[in-house]
Homo-oligomer: A and B are copies of this chain.
Amino acid sequence: MNRKATIYDIAREAGVSTATVTRVVRKDPHVKEATRLKVQQVIDAHAYTPSMSAQNLESGRSRALAVVLPVISNLYFNRILDAAYWEADKNGCSIRLFQTMENQAISAELVNELIRCRMDGVLFAGSIWSADRGDLNTALEKLGKYMPVATICPQDVSLECICIQSDLVNCSRLPVRHLHTLGHRRIAFLGGSMHSKDTSRRGAGFLEQLRVMDLPDDPAYHVDAGYDMESGERAVLRMLSGLDSSRWPTAIVTFNDLVALGVIKQLKKMGLSLPRDMAIIGCDNQFFCAYTDPALTSVDLHPEEMAQSAVRELLLARESSSRSFAIVREATLVVRESCGAHFGFRRL
């Protein structure tokens, strides 16, 4: 393997000092045009660029942001990563990816690794405090002392940090209101996992909306459904088979679009006609929503914009310290066919 030309090689060959080479590279105006030309020539000849590691060591920073999320194969997080990447790229920064898997524990090791890598900032996405160990907040507080921290998560964060929050209010309100407008009264919520923070918050918001709109909040309408399609299939089967068909809900709101995918499949398997026999609303407005049958109405939390803000704020925080605040990007409902609204369907 070749050795890359160093600043010393360039300096020697151009007959100047390393300082001058740096000046040329950095476009310092205090260089005579003749020398600048000569040095630039040598630089070009070797396609010289200063070594990252050396620059990082010298400057004490890495020009890289960490993005910590459960899994990138999840479309929601994938979108966050993608948006974060481009926003960082625009500012000459790279992204270092960390996956925590389902358990989402922010271990002390992870914190140390982040410090070790001299990250210019960290973005935590997803529900991150669910881990059992109590020293999590301690670990994060410590992290906050070394670099700016941002979170995109559904919880309140006790930590001082840039906190981009999902719009949980509308995330619950919009589907319920939409269904209510269409005449639905019995609305079920198939949500992630009840002992996780995000689900319980979403669930609570959902119940609250039911009460606000004076709709029944039968506990049987409130079921754990995991985060993927298989779980959705099982959950809806479990819920409906445990209920006398007269008590069946007429609409189902799911934790995310994947769960909705499973629900749709299961309902069809049971011979229901959608959206006539059951309205469905998903969450995340994934790319495939327009291509399910019926096309899935879904809540968009705009993860891209949240990631963008997060990265932008992290980069700002590098300079002026102690930026700590919360931003909420409003959620929107994207109406498609799965509630029947498109053909003026109205249930009594």
Contacts and interface: CB of A to CB of B under 8 A. Distances in A.
Which of A49, A116, A145 has the most B CB atoms < 10 Å from its CB?
A116
Contact of A229 (B53, B118, B291): B291
Nearest to A64: B96
A4 B114 CA distance: 11
Contacts of A290: 229, 265
B116 A51 contact: yes
A86 B57 CA distance: 27
Interface residues of A, number: 52
**In the assembly, how many copies of this chain are there?**
2
A96 B65 CA distance: 11
A50 interface: yes
A97 B85 contact: yes
Residue among A53, A99, A118 with the most chain B CB within 10 A?
A53
A147 interface: yes
Interface stretch (A75-83, A152-160, A200-208): A75-83
Interface of A: 1-2, 4, 47, 49-54, 56-57, 62, 71-73, 78-79, 81-82, 85-86, 89, 94-97, 99, 108, 112-113, 115-118, 142, 145-147, 229, 261-262, 264-265, 268, 287-288, 290-293, 321
- 7 tightest CB-CB pairs across the interface, nearest first? A53-B56, A53-B57, A49-B116, A2-B145, A261-B291, A52-B117, A293-B293
